[in-house]
Amino acid sequence: MRQESVTTESDPTVHAWGRWEGAYVSAVDRARPTQAVELWADFAGPTGERRRARGFWDGDRTWRLRFSPDVPGTWTYRTTCSDSSDSGLHGQTGSFTCTPYEGGNPLYRHGAVNVATEGRYFEHADGTPFFFLADTCWNGPHLAEPEDWVRYLSDRAAKRFSAVIFTAPHFRGLAADADGRTAYSGREQIEIDPVFFRRLDRTVDAMNDRGLLAVPLLLHAGKDTERNAGHHLPQDQAIALARYVVARYDAHHVLWNLVAEAEFHGWGARYWQQVARAVFANGRNHPVTLHPYGMDWALYSFLDEPWMDVVGYQSAHGDNEAYLRWIPQGPPSWSWVLHPPRPFVNLEPPYEGHLAYHSGTPFDAATVRRHTYWSLLSSPVAGVGYGGHGVWGWDDGTGTPFAHESTGKSAAWHEAIHLPGSTSMRHLAELMASLPWWQLRPAPEILAAQPGLEDARLTVVASRSEDGSISIVYAPRGSRATLRLGVDESPVRSATLIDPASGDRTPLDAPAGGGEWAVPLPNGEDWLVLLER
C-alpha cells in the first residue's frame, strides 16, 4: 500500500476550497474492478466538521479520493471499502493541512456555489451572490489541445462568463476524444476508461482555476444515436456511469446537469426520478438540474423531488410565434411562484450563428440578447446560458457540426469565440455586477403598454427589486417602452439608457410624478432602461 497526494510529501497542504487528492494501490490485481466495489473516506475537520467523499477507480490497481476542505487547519481521514476482506483499501488513515486562500479566484475566495437559502438564485458558501452566466462548449474538453483550451478559457473569463456547460462522457456523434478514446465500452456491464477521464481532469481543473464553474452533463438521452449513454445504456449502467463522474469531480466546483433531452413525463419522469435518487442516494455537495428538450417544461414532474435544485430549461432555436412567446408568456414566466422556490435558468437559448428552425436564418447577436433578457427578466434573476455556433461543437470550420447538419455551416471555434454576442454577455455581467440583481422579480405591472401583443418579437419585459428601489426594462430591437409610474411610489431619482450591445450608458431626464412615461429610445436597436428611486 502506498499513498500519494497532489502536493509533495514534505508539504501536504491545500488551500481552502481547493482540491486535495490521495491515491491508493489495491492489493487485488483486477484488470477491471466490479461495480460492487466502493471506496469512501470520512474526513474530520479542525473544529469538528464531518464530511464524506466517494473514491473512484483510476486504472490498474489505483484508486483515488478527492476532497475540497472548507475550513483551514488540520484534516484527518479514514477510508472504508465495501470489499474490505481483500482489497487493501479499507481502513487507511492520513491527514493534511488546509491553509487560507489568499488569491483572487472567486470560487476559492468565496467557496462552493450552491442555491441560496432564499431559493431563487445562487450564492457562494460565504453568502456572496453568484450570477450564473454559462458558455456552452459541449465537446471542447474532449477535443481541444491544451494550449487551445487555455486560449478559450482566457477569452471566456475575460468576458466575465462564470460557468462552462460541457458533456462529461462522449457526446452524440462524437466517435472519440482527441486521443481516440471514449468514456466507456460495453453496454450490459460497462467498462470505464480512466484515461479518457484523465484528459477531462485537466480541462475541468483549468475551468475552476480560472474561476469558472464547471457544468458537466452526466448523461444524454437523445434517441438520435447509440453514442448517447442515457438512451443506449440500461438504467443500472447509466447510474453506474453517472456515479463514477460524480465521484471523480465532486471535489471540484460544479453544477450537475444530470441528463439532457430525455422523456421527462409519465414513465420517463418515473425513470429519471429513479436514476437521480440512485446517483445522489448519499446526498450531494452541489446543485442538480435537468436539461429538457426545447420548449419542454420538466418542473411539474419533479416538483417534489429533493434533488431537483435548479429548474433548467431550453427555449431552443426556433423563431415561429410559439417559440417567440414561450419564454415571456409561457411556463418560465409563471411557474417561478411555485414552491419550493428554485433558480430558473435558460440553459439553451438560441445559439448565435445557428440557423433558426423555421426561417432558416442565422441568429444574430441582437436576437440572442432578446432571448437572454427575456429569460432573465421573466423569472427572478439567477442566470442564463449562451452558445456560439462553432464553439459549442468545437468545430474546425470545414462544415456543419457533427450530427447537426441542419444547423448550418459553422466557423472554426477560434473564430466563433469572437462572435459579437459573446461580448454582449460581458456587458450583461458588468450590468449585473452593478446591481442587487438577486433582489429582482418580474414586474409586468410597470408596463403601460405591451407591443408584444401585436408582434411577439417586440415583447418588452420588466423586473423590479423587492424594495422598489430599482426597475429594469428591456425593449427588443424595433420595440418601444411606455412605463406606468405609480403615484404611490418614491420619485424616480435617476433614469439611464443602456446599450446592451456596447454597455454604454446615457443619462435620461428622470420623469417627474406619476402617470405614463414613453421612454425616448433613440433608434431601432434593443435597449435597457434602468430606473433608480
Give the pLDDT confidence score for residue 5 in this predicted structure: 30
- What confidence tier does 242 reach under pLDDT thresholds 50, 70, 90? very high
Where is 163: in which H helix or E strand? Answer: strand 163-167
User: Strand, coil or helix: what is 508?
Assistant: strand
User: What is the chain's mean pLDDT, rounded?
Assistant: 93
Scan for cell 420619485, then name that residue. 491
Backbone φ and ψ of 294, nearest 5°:
-60, 135
Q: Where are the alpha helices (H) located in 101-145, listed in sequence order?
A: 106-110, 140-143
Q: Where are the alpha helices (H) located in 250-338, listed in sequence order?
A: 267-279, 299-302, 321-329, 331-334
Residues present in the chain in total:
533
- What confidence tier does 10 reach under pLDDT thresholds 50, 70, 90? very low
Q: Inform me whether the pLDDT recorded for 30 exceeds 70.
A: no
- What confidence tier does 400 reach under pLDDT thresholds 50, 70, 90? confident
Give the pLDDT confidence score for residue 299 in this predicted structure: 97
User: Strand, coil or helix: what is 217?
Assistant: strand
* Strands 213-220, 163-167: pairing kind: parallel
Stretch 164-186: mean pLDDT: 83
Scan for cell 473512484, then name that residue. 56
Give the pLDDT confidence score for residue 9 in this predicted structure: 36
Residue scoring higher pLDDT (533 or 288): 288
Give the pLDDT confidence score for residue 6 in this predicted structure: 37
Question: Considering the chain, what percentage of its residues have pLDDT values greater than 90?
Answer: 83
Q: Inform me whether the pLDDT recorded for 86 exceeds 60.
A: no
